[in-house]
Amino acid sequence: MSSVERAKATQIANIQKKTGKSLDELTNLIQSSGLSKHGELRNMLMEKLGLGFGDATNLVHFVLKTDVEIAAKEKGLSTADVLDDIYSGPKVSLRPIYEKLISSIQQFGEFEIAPKKGYVSLRRKRQFAMLGPASNTQFELGINVKNLETDERLVEQPAGSMCNYKVRLTNADQVDEIVVSWVRRAYQAAG
């Protein structure tokens, strides 16, 4: 079992402890809710069980088996295949931003790249960054660490969001030492 798989299993176990519900009960709650959209199910879990955004999101993925990382493996797709899909059409011009960021981040040490439907999640013991297109012309870097120094490029996210900060980038030249240092702090905090 990889460290990411262990982390997911730990997260599911912690959700059961937090809610006082077994996995079967949580699965039944989701399946009998009458809801079908991921966002609706996530919001229902947040409201009814008091789960945070990340826990609710991952529980929905786990129960419905909609995690793109798992689906990609089952279809025999590589991370490169998923990236080719994410950065296709009008978003192809954003790929150099991803490449420059990932090249810098790989210098920090070991971590796992977990491809999702429209972005990739970077994880150690927990997610420390999210990389992907925000639109056809803007790349979004999500950073999961607290108490970064104030900078006009950093947009602090509400409590319970998938990341503490987001940074919008439009070209690879904007991936400077400061941006990389923010991701390094998140990497180190993730464990």
Asked, for residue 46, whether it belongs to a domain, the answer is: yes
- The share of the chain scoring above pLDDT 70, in percent, equals 90
Residue with tokens 């790929």: 95
What are 47-64's pLDDT values in tens digits? 999 998 878 888 887 887
Residue 113 CB-half CA count within 13 A: 20
Minimum mean pLDDT range among 19-28, 65-74, 162-171, 174-183: 65-74
Pair (162, 123) in one structural domain:
yes
Structure-token pair, residue 145: 């660490």
The span from the CA of 102 to the CA of 148, in Å, is 20
Residues 91 and 169 in one domain: yes
Instruction: Specify whether 87 is located in the same domain as 165.
Output: yes
Does 157 lie in the same domain as 99? yes
Strands (E), 42-171: 112-115, 120-123, 127-133, 139-143, 155-156, 165-169
Residues 120 and 56 in one domain: no
**pLDDT tens readout for residues 91-127:** 999 999 999 999 999 999 988 887 777 888 898 888 8
CATH code of the domain in which 88 resides: 3.30.1460
Amino acid (one-letter) located at 99: E
Q: At a CB cut-off of 8 Å and minimum separation 6, what does 92 contact?
A: none
Q: Distance (Å, rounded) from C-alpha 53 to C-alpha 66?
A: 16
43/121 same-domain check? no
Average pLDDT for residues 5-12, to the nearest whole number?
78
Please tell me the predicted confidence (pLDDT) of residue 10. 84
* In a shared domain, residues 55 and 127: no
Where in the sequence is the domain holding 11, given as residue range(s)? 3-66
Are 53 and 126 within one domain?
Answer: no
pLDDT of residue 159: 83
Looking at the fold, whether 87 and 175 belong to one and the same domain comes out as yes
What's the confidence (pLDDT) of residue 104? 95
- In this structure, are residues 132 and 86 in contact, taking their beta carbons and an 8 Å threshold? yes
Is it the case that residue 39 has pLDDT exceeding 90? no
Q: Are residues 7 and 38 in the same domain?
A: yes
Say if residue 101 is in the same domain as residue 138.
Answer: yes
pLDDT at 4 over 60: no
- Inside any domain, residue 74: no
Shared-domain flag, residues 167 and 89? yes
